[in-house]
Structure 1
Amino acid sequence: MIINQGKSVAITYTLTLDNGETVDSNVDGKPLRYTQGSEEIIAGLEQALEGRRAGETFQVSIEPENGYGVLSEEAYIQVPLQHLPEEARQIGAVLTAKGPQGQELQGVITEVSDAMATLNFNHPLAGEVLHFEVTVVQVEEA
């Protein structure tokens, strides 16, 4: 059966970055299940899976525009230190905030000065080229 719109698909994958760092892998675990065309996985990976069959193994590199997006300068926010918990006033600290629609956002402190901290609210993989090695485990009707 071929992967196309509406099919239930199970895959195993390993995700690495340009620097060779392995970010995620489910090869020794439970396959990832998704429905093709439902935007449950990143667009570039879903496009690369279209037309493939169970048993196929392939590699694909996905540019940021089809992955987790490009780095956005608007996602860097300056916050006065007095608004941050004392234990979070250091580079690398992760803070949670509410977005404009009430969604939960995570920011990482990237700079700290005497009075201000810079938080980066981009996705941690934004701006990265994503290198996947994928095996299609199963394709079936949803």
Structure 2
Amino acid sequence: MTDLTGNIIAENSEVVLHFDLKLEDGSAADSTRVNDKPAKLVIGDGNLTESFEACLLGLKQGDKKSFTLQPEDAFGMPNPDNFHHLERSRFSAEAPAEVGMILAFSQPDGSEMLGIVREVAGDSVTVDFNHPLAGQVITFDVEILSVN
């Protein structure tokens, strides 16, 4: 009997996979296939949430599977504390305060955080710093290319 346990995804497995994330309406949210650059990760390294990793456990090379995750198990629900009201003067002609714009904001530690302009009212701009897919039901389609 051949031992295939090394080819089954478990904790600490190195996995190379293609994935597609789709919203409930079927629209694409993210895909490694766009640029034909598969993702490489180690189960448990923190690159994926526990819920996404749990979908992969037990799969093996060549498997294709689709999972539907509720918001709590995907990118979470929007946190009202992540909505901030900023002065319109903080925006420039190169980075205008227009509803729907996704902009990078500098943090005190020098890192950048993405925010989505949700509302512009007079001199006040409401920026949402939640993950763009927060509150969304996500379909996670995977194709396992290799497992080590």
Q: Give TM class, smaller chain.
A: 0.7 to 0.9
Farther off after superposition, 23-32 or 42-51 = 23-32
- 1:4–1:37 CA contact under 8 A, matched in 2: no
Question: Percent identical across equivalent pairs?
Answer: 28
SS at match of 2:75: coil
Q: Which residue, 94, 100, 114 being the options, matches 2:122?
A: 114
Q: Name structure 1 gaps, 5 residues minimum.
A: none
CA distance in structure 2 between the partners assigned to 1:24 and 1:36 by the alignment:
20
Candidates 19, 22, 25, aligned match of 2:31: 25
Shift of 1:15: 1.3
Helix, strand or coil at the partner of 1:52: coil
More deviation in 100-109 or 69-78?
100-109
Find 2:86's aligned residue among 62, 69, 79: 79
Matched, 1:135 2:143: yes
1:47 — aligned with what?
54
Residue identity matched to 1:9 = V
Corresponding residue to 2:65 among 58, 62, 74 = 58
TM norm structure 2: 0.84
Cα distance per residue 1:25-61 (max 9 Å; x no partner)? 2246132111111111232221110111111111101
Q: Which moved more, 1:85-94 or 1:72-81?
A: 85-94
Cα displacement string for residues 57-106 of structure 1 (whole angstroms, at most 9, x for unaligned residues): 11101222232221011111111212222451221223322346553211
Once superposed, what is the RMSD of the aligned Cα atoms? 1.8
Which moves more between the two structures, 62-71 or 2-11? Answer: 62-71
Q: How far apart are the structure 2 equivalents of 1:128 and 1:57?
A: 23
Aligned residue-pair number:
140
Give SS of 1:45's match.
helix
* Distance verdict in 2 for CA 1:127–1:99, change over 3 Å: farther
Structure 2: how far apart are the matches of 1:58 and 1:105? 32
Q: Look up the match of 2:3.
A: none
